[in-house]
Every structure is written in C-alpha cells, then in structure tokens.
C-alpha cells in the first residue's frame, strides 16, 4: 500500500476542525455524537483523510458504546500501535495508508476473533453500496 503523506497545512485545509483533531492528533469525539454511531446503511467505510477502504458495513455492530464498532477491518487497511495515554494501555488503530488515527481496538467483540474496532465517526466516510 502506497503511503499518503501531506504537510500539516495540507491536512488542515482538507479536513474540518473535528476531523483534523481526531485523525491528526488522536482526539476522540464524544460518544453518541458522531454521524455513524447508529448508521445501518450498507456500504464501505473509508478513511476521511485518504479514502482508503477500512471497514465494510457487514462487520458493523451495535456495541452500545456510542461509536461505530466493527468486528473486523479490511485486511491490511488498519495498523495497530500501543497507546499509553490517559493512564491506560490500549491498542490504537490507524489507517495503514496515511496514519490517520481512527480509534482503538478492544478484545470484547462478537466476531470470530473477538475484536471490537471502536472508531471515531470523524475519521471515516461511508460510501453507500450502490444498487
């Protein structure tokens, strides 16, 4: 996968303030505030920064946490990094193409691997399935 690299000024010009803070500075939007936390539309969720496909709607589920949750990412689309901020040890998830912060992954999901990818709505864009 080709890496996408832009200057801070280029990211600021492309993204709104919330998208910029979440994706480029690892902020978190408040629970139940993002546009996709309860969306059930079929389609593909893409990175808001570079449009890389990250998740498909068939893996989305209601975790009750207030953020879009998926039990699986598209293979190779997401990378993981240890996160020790806020006095916790968590696993941060980032877009493999542009290093945008997406959220965190937790070992309490329903899928075959038991994972829950907890994603900020501000970091993704839903491309509805056509037809």
pLDDT digits over 60-116, tens only? Answer: 999 999 999 999 999 999 999 999 988 999 999 999 999 999 999 999 999 899 999
Radius of gyration of the chain (CA): 14
In the chain, the percentage of residues whose pLDDT exceeds 90 is: 93
Averaged pLDDT for residues 102-131: 95
Asked whether the beta carbons of 101 and 113 are under 8 A apart, the reply is no
Q: Is 65 annotated as a binding-site member?
A: no
Whether the pLDDT of residue 23 is over 90: the answer is yes
Question: 13 with 88: CB under 8 angstroms?
Answer: no
Angle among Cα 54, 44, 41 to the nearest 5 degrees reads: 135
Residue 82: how many CB atoms within 10 A of its CB? Answer: 8
**Annotated binding residue 49:** no
Q: Does 65 participate in catalysis according to the annotation?
A: no
User: Rounded CA gap, 17 and 39, in Å?
Assistant: 22
pTM (2 d.p.): 0.95
Catalytic residue, chosen from 118, 119, 124, 126, is: 118
């Amino acid at each position: 996968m080709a890496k996408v690299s832009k200057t801070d000024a280029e990211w600021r010009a492309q993204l709104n303030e919330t998208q910029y803070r979440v994706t480029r500075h690892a902020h978190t939007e408040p629970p139940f505030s993002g546009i996709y936390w309860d969306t059930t539309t079929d389609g593909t969720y893409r990175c808001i920064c570079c449009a890389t496909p990250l998740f498909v709607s068939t893996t989305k589920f209601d975790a009750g946490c207030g953020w879009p949750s998926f039990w699986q990412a598209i293979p190779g689309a997401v990378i993981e990094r240890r996160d020790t901020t806020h006095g916790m040890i968590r696993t941060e998830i980032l877009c493999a193409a542009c290093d945008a912060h997406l959220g965190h992954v937790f070992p309490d999901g329903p899928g075959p691997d038991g994972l829950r990818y907890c994603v900020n709505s501000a970091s993704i864009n839903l491309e509805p399935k056509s037809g």
